[in-house]
């Protein structure tokens, strides 16, 4: 059965990519530990500028959005490493379809990115008393945000040509999308033009949705989730088109 064969190929690819990630745990560990240090050092500044509750929320949301965008390196690396290691041509000779390749690489990365976000939120709850009265609403926002990050990372992985280009893309792009989106600094204190362009940044919808989930605003949180899913689908579709040649086979990159 074609569906059974596809599931078998997908399972092998997921295990393969998970092993590759675990054999080089340095980047993953840094994306887990650095946000906790950053949040601990930055929280007193937010608390002094706002109040304890708002300052803690700003520290957690800002740290989560910023460092999850920087974690695009994990997603992009899974594709770019194949290309630079000359194993991409071998994949082209297999029955793998572009969607299977992207999904096989996405599952381990999705797990790692979601674990990073849950770790940051959990640290905020345990260490700083962050209140999460609506955990399932917040989880929905985190899941949709992770899907968006996967789409962005996959698109970067098929477009850039070197590790240097990838590094510049997620460093500059991550900080820019986070800052313009109002994650690190509230939009109310930024220039007016930033508020006008902020909705174009996925970081804006992530931060907006998380704050809404923490406050229990279901309508705003669901709107943010829907917007993030649309962005994820758009990026994933562009990445899949970039990988697709005649007959649906993988193309050289």
Residues 151 and 235 sit within 8 Å (Cβ to Cβ) = yes
Which residue stretches of 50-184 are H helix? 52-70, 72-84, 88-92, 98-128, 135-159, 163-180
Is the dihedral angle over the CA atoms 126, 128, 134, 140 positive or is it negative? negative
Q: Using CA atoms, how far apart are residues 177 and 181, in angstroms rounded to an integer?
A: 6
> For residue 253, which of 157, 164, 178, 175 has the smallest C-alpha distance?
157
Spatial distance between the Cα atoms of 183 and 64, rounded to a whole number of angstroms: 9
Residues 6+ apart with CB under 8 A from 172: none
- Let me know: does 61 contact 207? Beta carbons within 8 Å: yes
Tokens of 58: 């700003």
Query: What does the pLDDT profile of the chain (253 residues) look like in tens digits?
Result: 357 777 777 787 888 778 877 777 777 788 889 999 999 999 999 999 888 999 999 999 999 999 998 887 777 777 777 767 667 667 666 777 767 777 777 888 889 899 999 999 999 999 999 999 999 999 999 999 999 998 888 888 778 877 788 778 878 888 888 888 888 888 888 888 898 999 999 999 999 999 999 999 999 999 999 999 999 999 888 887 776 654 444 444 5
What radius of gyration do the chain's Cα atoms show? 19
> For residues 207 and 243, what is the distance between their CA atoms, to the nearest angstrom?
31
Maximum C-alpha span of the chain: 62
pLDDT, position 23: 76
- Looking at residue 98, its pLDDT comes to 66
Four-point Cα dihedral 157, 177, 38, 36, nearest 10: -60
Among left, alpha and beta (phi > 0; psi -120 to 50; other), residue 182 is left
Sequence-distant (≥ 6) Cβ neighbours of residue 70 within 8 angstroms: 31, 170, 171, 174, 175
């Amino acid at each position: 059965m074609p569906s059974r064969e596809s599931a078998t190929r997908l399972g092998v690819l997921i295990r393969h990519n998970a092993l590759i990630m675990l054999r080089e745990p340095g980047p993953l560990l840094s994306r887990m530990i650095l946000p906790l240090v950053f949040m601990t050092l930055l929280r007193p500044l937010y608390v002094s500028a706002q109040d304890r509750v708002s300052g803690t929320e700003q520290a957690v949301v800002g740290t989560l959005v910023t460092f999850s965008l920087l974690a695009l390196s994990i997603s992009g690396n899974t594709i770019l490493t194949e290309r630079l290691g000359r194993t991409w041509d071998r994949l082209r000779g297999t029955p793998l379809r572009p969607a299977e390749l992207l999904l096989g690489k996405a599952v381990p990365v999705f797990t790692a990115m979601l674990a990073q976000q849950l770790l940051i939120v959990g640290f905020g709850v345990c260490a700083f008393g962050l209140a999460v009265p609506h955990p399932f609403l917040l989880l929905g926002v985190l899941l949709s945000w992770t899907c968006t990050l996967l789409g962005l990372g996959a698109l970067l992985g098929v477009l850039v040509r070197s590790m240097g280009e990838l590094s510049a893309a997620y460093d500059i792009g991550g900080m820019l999308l986070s800052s313009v989106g109002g994650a690190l600094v509230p939009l109310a204190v930024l220039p007016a033009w930033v508020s006008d362009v902020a909705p174009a940044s996925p970081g804006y919808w992530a931060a907006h949705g998380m704050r809404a989930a923490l406050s229990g605003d279901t309508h705003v949180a669901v709107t943010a989730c829907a917007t993030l899913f649309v962005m994820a689908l758009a990026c994933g579709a562009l990445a899949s088109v970039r990988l697709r040649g005649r007959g649906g086979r993988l193309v050289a990159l």
